C-alpha cells in the first residue's frame, strides 16, 4: 500500500481501531502481577517510517531481542497506521502505546532543548564520527533523559539515521539561490530558523502532505536522509539532490514512563538490553546506507541530479549558523546553553579520541 495515497479518513479509522484494541488489552499489558509476567505481555511500539527504513529496522531488532529472550511480544505500528508523528506521541504519553520512535524535529514542541540537533554544522556528517559521538556523549546519555522524563517519557536511545540532504526544484549552491523557495520543514521552530538563515522560506508541513505539495509546487524543496528520499519517492517530484553537509537526521526511542517504571527489574533489564542490541545493530547498519540508496535513486530516474557543495560553498551556509545557535539559546535559556556547551565538549572529545 502506498501510504501517500491513503485518505485521512481511512487513517483515522485505522487509528480508532488500534485505540480500541489497545484499550481492551491495556490492563493485561500493564499488569505487574507475577502471573502476567510469566505468561508474557504484549507491548505496542510505533515509529515514523516505512517498512525497511531505519526506524523500522531498529524496531524489529528490538522486537527480535524481546521475543527471543522472554515470553513478551512486541507489536509494531509503522507510519500512517496510527496517524502522524504527533499522534503517536500523544498515544504514548497517554499510555496506549508503550514505546515510540520520534525525531526531535517533532519533539521540539514538547522539549525545546531537543531542537539542538537542528543547529546547522553542529553535528558531523561522517558516519564514524557521529557513531562515536552518540556512544560516548554525556549530553546524549546523561542530560537528555532528564528532559524527556519531565514529559512522562523514558528516553531509551538516541541514534543517527544519516546525513540530511536537501531536494529542490533546481540545483542550489548558495543562500542566494534559496531565496524565494518554500522549503518544507518539520513543525520545529529552530529548523524554520535554519532555513530562514539559509535564505529560504520555511514551510512547516506534516509528512503526509509533503509529496503532494512538491508535486503541485506548493513547496519547492525539503530535507531528509537519502534512504527516506528513496523510500518516500521524493526524488520523483523533487529531483535535485543537494548535499550541504549541514546536519545529521537523529531520532529517539522512548517508553511511556509510567509503564516503564511499573516493569519488574527483570523486564526493565530486558528492555534496556533489547534497546542496546537494536542500537548497536543500527550503528553498524547506517554507515554506507546513504550511498546504497543514492545508487537506487539514480538507477530509477535519469532526471535526478546530485550537487555536493565544495568547502567554499558550504562556508557560505556555515557562516549563517551562529544566528541559529543564538536563537536556540534564546528559546531554551540557561539550560539550553549548558546542553550546547556539553554537546560541543563531547564533540571535541569524540574527535580527539579518533585522532
Grid cell in block for residue 305: 541530479
Grid cell in block for residue 89: 506521541
Distances 24 to 10, 27, 96, 234, 255 between C-alpha atoms, Å: 21, 8, 10, 38, 20
Can you give the pLDDT at residue 36?
Answer: 52
Distances 301 to 62, 167, 236 between C-alpha atoms, Å: 34, 14, 8
Q: Is the dihedral of CA 145, 148, 149, 153 positive or negative?
A: negative
Q: What CATH number does domain 8-354 carry, 3.40.190.170, 3.90.1150.10, 3.10.580.10, 3.30.70.3040?
A: 3.40.190.170
How far is it, in rounded angstroms, from Cα 313 to Cα 115?
Answer: 25
3-state helix, strand, coil in the chain (%, to 5): 55, 15, 25
Can you give the pLDDT at residue 110?
Answer: 87
Reported as a pLDDT band with limits 50, 70 and 90, residue 106 is: confident
In the chain, where the domains are located? 8-354
CA 127 to chain centre: 16
| DSSP assignment string, 130-150 | HHHHHHH-HIIIIIHHHHHHT
* Average confidence (pLDDT) over 241-266: 97
Give the tens place of pLDDT for each residue, 120-179.
999 988 777 888 899 999 999 999 999 999 999 999 999 999 999 999 999 999 999 999
Q: What is the mean pLDDT of the chain?
A: 89
φ, ψ for residue 82 (rounded to 5)?
A: -125, 25
The reported pTM is 0.88
Give the tens place of pLDDT for each residue, 31-66.
444 455 568 999 999 999 999 999 999 999 999 999
Q: Is the pLDDT of residue 306 over 50?
A: yes
Q: Is the pLDDT of residue 202 over 50?
A: yes
For residues 123 and 321, the answer to whether their CB atoms sit within 8 Å is: no
Amino acid at each position: 500500500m502506498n501510504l501517500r495515497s491513503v485518505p485521512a479518513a481511512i487513517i483515522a479509522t485505522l487509528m480508532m481501531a488500534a485505540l480500541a484494541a489497545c484499550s481492551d488489552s491495556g490492563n493485561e499489558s500493564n499488569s505487574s502481577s507475577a502471573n502476567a509476567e510469566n505468561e508474557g505481555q504484549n507491548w505496542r511500539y510505533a515509529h515514523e517510517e516505512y517498512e525497511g527504513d531505519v526506524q523500522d529496522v531498529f524496531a524489529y531488532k528490538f522486537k527480535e531481542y524481546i521475543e527471543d529472550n522472554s515470553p513478551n511480544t512486541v507489536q509494531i505500528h509503522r507510519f500512517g497506521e496510527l496517524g502522524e508523528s504527533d499522534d503517536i506521541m500523544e498515544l504514548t504519553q497517554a499510555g496506549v502505546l508503550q514505546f515510540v520512535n520520534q525525531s526531535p524535529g517533532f519533539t521540539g514542541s514538547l522539549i525545546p532543548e531537543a531542537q539542538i540537533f537542528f543547529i546547522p554544522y553542529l553535528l558531523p556528517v561522517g558516519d564514524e564520527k557521529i557513531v562515536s559521538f552518540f556512544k560516548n556523549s554525556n549530553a546524549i546519555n546523561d542530560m537528555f533523559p532528564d528532559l524527556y522524563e519531565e514529559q512522562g517519557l523514558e528516553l531509551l536511545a538516541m541514534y543517527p539515521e544519516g546525513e540530511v540532504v536537501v531536494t529542490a526544484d533546481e540545483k542550489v549552491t548558495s543562500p542566494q539561490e534559496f531565496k524565494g523557495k518554500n522549503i518544507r520543514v518539520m513543525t520545529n521552530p529552530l529548523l524554520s530558523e535554519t532555513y530562514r538563515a539559509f535564505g529560504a522560506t520555511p514551510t512547516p508541513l506534516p509528512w503526509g502532505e509533503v509529496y503532494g505539495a512538491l508535486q503541485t509546487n506548493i513547496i519547492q524543496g525539503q530535507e531528509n536522509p537519502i534512504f527516506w528520499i528513496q523510500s518516500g519517492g521524493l526524488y520523483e517530484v523533487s529531483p535535485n539532490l543537494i548535499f550541504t553537509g549541514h546536519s545529521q537526521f537523529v531520532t529517539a526511542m522512548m517508553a511511556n514512563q509510567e509503564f516503564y517504571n511499573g516493569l519488574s527489574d527483570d523486564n526493565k533489564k530486558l528492555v534496556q538490553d533489547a534497546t542496546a542490541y537494536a542500537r548497536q545493530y543500527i550503528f553498524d547498519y547506517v554507515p554506507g546506507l546513504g550511498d546504497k540508496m543514492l545508487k537506487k535513486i539514480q538507477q530509477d530516474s535519469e532526471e535526478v541530479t546530485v550537487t555536493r557543495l565544495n568547502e567554499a560553498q558550504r562556508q557560505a551556509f556555515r557562516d549563517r549558523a551562529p544566528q541559529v545557535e543564538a536563537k536556540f539559546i534564546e528559546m531554551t535559556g540557561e539550560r539550553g546553553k549548558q546542553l550546547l556547551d556539553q554537546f560541543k565538549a563531547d564533540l571535541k572529545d569524540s574527535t580527539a579520541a579518533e585522532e
